Amino acid sequence: MSVSPLLVLALAGGAAFGGGIAVLLAGLLPAAPALGPALDRLYPATRPPRSRSLVAWLSGRLQVPRADLAVLGQTSESYVVRLIGSALFGLGLPTLISVLALIIGLPVAPYLPVGAAVIAAAVGVWFAHRGVVERARAARGEFARALCTYLDLAATQVRGGHGPMESLDRAAGICHGWAFDHIRAALARAELQLTPPWDELKRLSIELDVVELGDLADIMRSAGTEGAQAYQTLRAKADSLRGHIRTRELEKAEVRTNKLDIPAAALIFVLLALMSYPFLAGMIFQ
């Protein structure tokens, strides 16, 4: 018994479409926290090498935005899984549409489903990558706003007579939120590894690509090693950071305001078309 090519195409498209949805759901659903990466961060030299899966192998070969993933609290493996799921979804959707078109009797050229599937897969991968980049940019802005509060609290602790190390710990213990969770984890690692906390904050700033956190680490390093006055420097840095955030938000608001001119202009053209339609219709059909 011969197998219909249409049936094979439908099965392949359905499998790719369903596989893409399954991989996307697996990447989006929350998973249990992994103990291995946490131990690797605390004790990087004591962990034995582990066997690597295909996803881990791909994450090591692809150009993964590791800083963006770190600030979002995601792993490179989850990023690769999301790319694969988006690509499979893009491959399957045009195939299913082509099968439906053939079922209802519409002519479809053989190269159209293949070309559309490749383009849709590339677009899906691009959108998945851009989604990570945009969310990471928003997370860094939120981190910078949280640092304004942290700088003020650290300056208050310094003015109260506490040392640089104690000021960082006490200020981090007061605040709540995911940004301060990163800071508290960095301070805890510094305490466990018996290293200065500003060195660990500097490493965290490089890992997350948050320049403002590195500036805080430099200020506290100067106060801890050279005896520099940290209070005025911390307050000045907090004011400067607030001014930078305010300027950036004003620029975003101006761009969004300018974008509002486009629908307003389109609405005016629609109104002009509606007003002129009776006159033009009378001229044409008289």
Q: Domain ranges in the chain?
A: 5-138, 140-259
Task: Return averaged pLDDT per consecutive 10 residues of the chain, 286 residues in all.
Answer: 53 61 59 55 50 66 85 87 86 79 74 82 91 92 91 88 86 88 91 89 91 88 69 86 88 80 76 74 67
**Nearest to 93, CA basis, from 26, 25, 13:** 13
Query: Rounded CA gap, 136 and 142, in Å?
Result: 10
Answer yes or no: are the C-beta atoms of 144 and 237 closer than 8 Å: no
Written as six digits, the tokens of 122 are: 């590339």
The helix (H) or strand (E) run that includes residue 82 is helix 76-103
pLDDT the model gives residue 127:
92
Determine the longest span between alpha carbons in the chain, in angstroms.
Answer: 92
Residue 159 is predicted with a pLDDT of: 86
Residue 140: predicted pLDDT: 92
- Other beta carbons within 10 Å of 62: 12
